[in-house]
Amino acid sequence: MDIKQLKVYIAGHRGMVGAAIWRELEAKGYARLIGKTSGELDLRNQNEVRAFFNEVQPDVVIDAAARVGGILANDTYPYQFLMDNLQIQNNLIDASYANGVSKFIFLGSSCIYPKLASQPLKEEYLLTGSLEPTNEWYAIAKIAGVKACEAIKRQYGKDYLALMPTNLYGPFDNFDLNTSHVLPAMIRKFHEAKIQGNLPVTLWGSGTPMREFLHVKDLARAVLFAVEGELKESLYNVGTGKDLTIRSLAETIQGVVGHRGEIIWDSSKPDGTPRKLLDVSRMASEGWQAEIALEEGISKTYEWFKENSEQIKEVQF
């Protein structure tokens, strides 16, 4: 059977990551993509998920569904970040196993690694130290998903694996200032300050932490690579292997947006993890690497933001 005729279910296909994966697979000729909105299928409901799998019988499942957010959201809603994500991934993984799904790709985040682990972060550092307290609820859920895929691969020999991307950005990102991650929040802050006469922009922390950023199209390419290949391990980091300070990120975004006001750093606010750079050598050894440079990716994301600013979603809990 032609691999492009496989039924591929993308959970979370309306989100930034899922939508990018859908576009990538569709562009490459995958003709039997399956998606359900949260209104059509509540992934937290085990009975609904089981009934859906029994009816549709997908060949490949890509889990891009999750409750996500930045430091403030994680800190404010710890129970939802833990329980919703556990329920979503457990239902998808177990239904996939029960229905003979041949390939399952679980998407997580680099926040699964210990806060003070050596840099760059290798896959084998998982569970070797304490997590960053501001997002441990989300991280614990994602670690459980990684281990579930590893257990199925080890016990049953099935092609279930986890891809752990670094900080993602791109079209369809969350630009809500209460719940978004740092890069989209900065794009919105600098844009709004610019159109209001280049007002000063206040940013959290000292600006000294180091971060790595991956355009979501590159992650989608990595997922396609995993769909079409047979990766040996159960866990792979997905990133650029390059990082920069939050201060440098802010200056880059300020330049792209064209804001000419002052940047004020509020050091009373938390910085989060000091550095979070992924070791991407395992994925590179399989033949994959990122392609989109950061400034190019930010420019494309800013153009998308301006074109879609009226429809930018505000996350509700």
Q: Of 9, 138, 160, 236, which one is the catalytic site residue?
A: 138
Alpha-carbon dihedral of residues 73, 147, 274, 277, nearest 10 degrees? -120
| pLDDT given at position 72 | 76
Going by the annotation, the residues of the binding site for substrate are 189, 204, 211, 271
Q: Is the pTM of this model over 0.85?
A: yes
Side by side, the strands of the sheet bearing 235-238 are 33-34, 8-11, 60-63, 103-107, 159-165, 235-238
| Residues above pLDDT 90, as percent of the chain | 86
**What pLDDT digit, counting tens, does each position of 272-297 carry?**
778 889 999 999 999 999 999 999 99
Over range 127-156, report the average pLDDT.
Answer: 95
108 closest CA partner among 79, 144, 73? 144
What are the structural domain ranges in the chain?
Answer: 3-311
Homologous superfamily assigned to 3-311: NAD(P)-binding Rossmann-like Domain (3.40.50.720)
How large is the average pLDDT for residues 198-227? 97
Residue 184, both tokens: 């989209």
pLDDT of residue 315: 41
Q: Per-residue pLDDT tens for 77-93?
A: 999 999 999 999 999 99
Query: pLDDT at position 312, please?
Result: 67
Binding site members for NADP(+): 12-18, 107-110, 142, 165-168, 181
Output the pLDDT for position 267. Answer: 93
Check pLDDT > 80 for residue 299. yes
Closest alpha carbon to 51 in 110, 5, 1, 95: 95
Q: Which two tokens stand for residue 226?
A: 């995993």
138 catalytically annotated = yes
- 314: exposed, middle or buried (C-beta count within 10 Å: 0-12, 13-18, 19+)? exposed
| Feature table: binding site | 12-18, 107-110, 142, 165-168, 181, 189, 204, 211, 271
Q: Is 114 helix (H, G, I), strand (E, B) or coil?
A: coil
Compute the mean pLDDT over every residue in the chain, rounded to the nearest whole number.
94
